[in-house]
Amino acid sequence: MTLFGIAGWSGSGKTTLLAKLIPALVARGLTVSTIKHAHHGFDLDTPGKDSHTHRRAGATEVLVSSAARYALIHELRGAPELTLEELAARLSPVDLVLVEGFKRSRHRKLEVWRAAVGKPPLWPDDPSVVAVASDGAVPGCTVPVFDLDDVEAIAAFVIEQAVLRCRQS
């Protein structure tokens, strides 16, 4: 599967861009999955539900299934965090996996950068940043720059960089 990242500092608009980019890619006939990195502990379970009770009781994995969806929750229980590659290997096959976060990993990525966030851009020090999407000028940028609201152009670029390049390899 092809991985392509959307990276940037917290508050830059990565999730907002992904919420627009995913339907644009699906409309072009691609199957898309996502991997989202969370920096802090998180919980998908609701206290009082059976799955939460099972997990809290010590189960390593809890799979919840219905006619509409299933979810697998895996507790690391002190084991090291999985790498991006290990996580991707657990997904069902799709045309494209969009990765939100993992900004220090070496997969190809588009950086979402806003001067107002007050953080330095990633692209000068990260050769895996192949483009930047921003709400303004990106002084000195040496990779393609897209308007953050130009989702169609960003989608075309992602397809060219991630999907077509992979198929040519």
Task: Please give the Cα distance from 100 to 37 (Å, whole number).
Answer: 6
Residues in CB range of 13: below 8 A, 6 or more apart: 112, 114, 135, 148
Q: Give how far the C-alpha of residue 134 lies from the chain's centroid of Cα atoms, to the nearest Å.
A: 17
Task: Please give the Cα distance from 135 to 36 (Å, whole number).
Answer: 23
AA letter at 124: P
Judge whether 11 lies within some domain: yes
CATH number at residue 106: 3.40.50.300
Judge whether 133 lies within some domain: yes
Judge whether 65 lies within some domain: no
AA letter at 22: I
| Contact between 133 and 146 (Cβ < 8 Å) | yes
Note the pLDDT of residue 58: 87
Note the pLDDT of residue 41: 66
Judge whether 39 lies within some domain: yes
Structural domains of the chain, count: 1
Structural domain boundaries enclosing 150: 2-43+81-168
pLDDT tens string for the chain (169 positions)? 799 999 999 999 999 999 999 999 999 999 999 999 886 666 677 788 888 889 888 888 888 888 998 888 888 888 999 999 999 999 999 999 999 988 889 999 999 999 999 999 999 999 999 999 999 999 999 999 999 999 999 999 999 998 766 655 5
Note the pLDDT of residue 31: 95
Judge whether 24 lies within some domain: yes
Judge whether 59 lies within some domain: no
Judge whether 75 lies within some domain: no
Judge whether 55 lies within some domain: no
Residue 24: name the closest of 169, 119, 106, 146 by CA.
146
Task: Please give the Cα distance from 114 to 120 (Å, whole number).
Answer: 9
